[in-house]
Amino acid sequence: MCLLQIKQIEKSKGNTIVFPKIDLDIHKEEIVAIQCNHEVGKQLIMMIIGETPISNGEVLLEGLPINHHFKSLSNRVGLFLLDEAMYERLTPKEYLNFYKRLYDVDEEINSLLQKVGLIEKVKSKISKLTYSEKKRLQLARAILHLPGLLIMEEPDQNIDIESKIIMQRVLEDFKGQGKAVLITTNNFESAISMTNTVYRLNEVGLKKIDVVDEEKGTLHAVSIDDQVIDSPPTIVNEEIENSTAEEANEGKEKAEEEATIIHRPLRIEKIPAKVEDKMILFDPTEIVFVESNEGISHLHVNGEVFPCSITLNDLSERLRPFGFFRCHRSYIVNLQKVREVITWTRNSYSLILEDSKKSPVPLSKGKLNELKVILGI
Q: Are residues 49 and 195 in the same domain?
A: yes
Q: What mean pLDDT do residues 52-71 have?
A: 83
For residue 140, give Cα distances in angstroms to 78, 95, 287: 10, 10, 38
Whole-angstrom Cα distance, residue 204 to residue 35?
Answer: 13
Going by their DSSP bridges, the two strands 360-363 and 324-328 should be labelled as unpaired
Pair (139, 232) in one structural domain = no
pLDDT at residue number 251: 56
Claim to verify: residue 26 and residue 171 sit in the same structural domain: yes
- Check pLDDT > 90 for residue 335: yes
**pLDDT higher for 245 or 105?**
105
| Torsion sign across C-alpha atoms 64, 67, 72, 75 | positive
pLDDT value of residue 188: 82
Q: Are residues 8 and 152 in the same domain?
A: yes
Is 218 part of a structural domain of the chain? no
Together in a domain, 96 and 232: no
Regarding whether 134 and 90 lie in a shared domain, the answer is yes
Q: Is residue 214 over pLDDT 70?
A: no
The residue that leads in pLDDT, 358 or 46, is 46
Output the pLDDT for position 349: 82
Asked if residue 147 and residue 98 are part of one domain, the reply reads: yes
166 and 282 fall within a common domain: no
Residue 319 lies in a domain: yes
Least confident of 74-78, 190-194, 337-341: 190-194
Residue 222 belongs to some domain of the structure: no
Are 119 and 95 part of one and the same domain?
A: yes
Q: Is the pLDDT of residue 277 over 60?
A: yes
Is the pLDDT confidence value at 245 over 60? no
Q: With 90 as the cut, is the pLDDT of residue 121 above it? A: yes
Span 309-328, mean pLDDT?
A: 92
pLDDT band at 341 (very low <50, low <70, confident <90, very high): confident
What average pLDDT does this structure show over 224-231?
35
The answer to whether residues 130 and 15 belong to one domain is yes
Each residue's pLDDT tens digit, 294-311: 788 999 998 889 999 999
Residue 220: inside a domain: no
pLDDT of residue 331: 92
Q: Could you tell me if residue 76 is inside a domain? A: yes
Residue 163 in domain: yes
Query: What is the structure's pLDDT at 261?
Result: 43
Write out the E strands in 82-154. 149-153
Q: What span, in angstroms and rounded, lies between the C-alpha atoms of 282 and 198?
A: 12
Q: How far is CA 189 from CA 88, 195, 282, in A?
A: 31, 10, 14
149, pLDDT greater than 90? yes
List pLDDT tens digits, range 64-93. 888 677 777 888 999 999 999 999 999 999
Residue 259 predicted with pLDDT over 70: no
Is residue 158 in a domain?
yes
Which of 264, 292, 326 is the endpoint of a domain?
264
Q: Using H for helix, E for strand and C for coil, what is the string for 182-199?
A: EEEECCHHHHHHHCCCEE
pLDDT, residue 250, reads 57
Q: What pLDDT shows up at residue 298?
A: 92
pLDDT of residue 297: 93
The predicted structure's pLDDT at residue 275? 81
Residue type, 376: G
Domain that includes residue 252, residue range: 228-264
Categorize the per-residue pLDDT at 14 as very low, low, confident or very high, splitting at 50, 70 and 90: confident
For residue 262, pLDDT over 60 is answered with: no
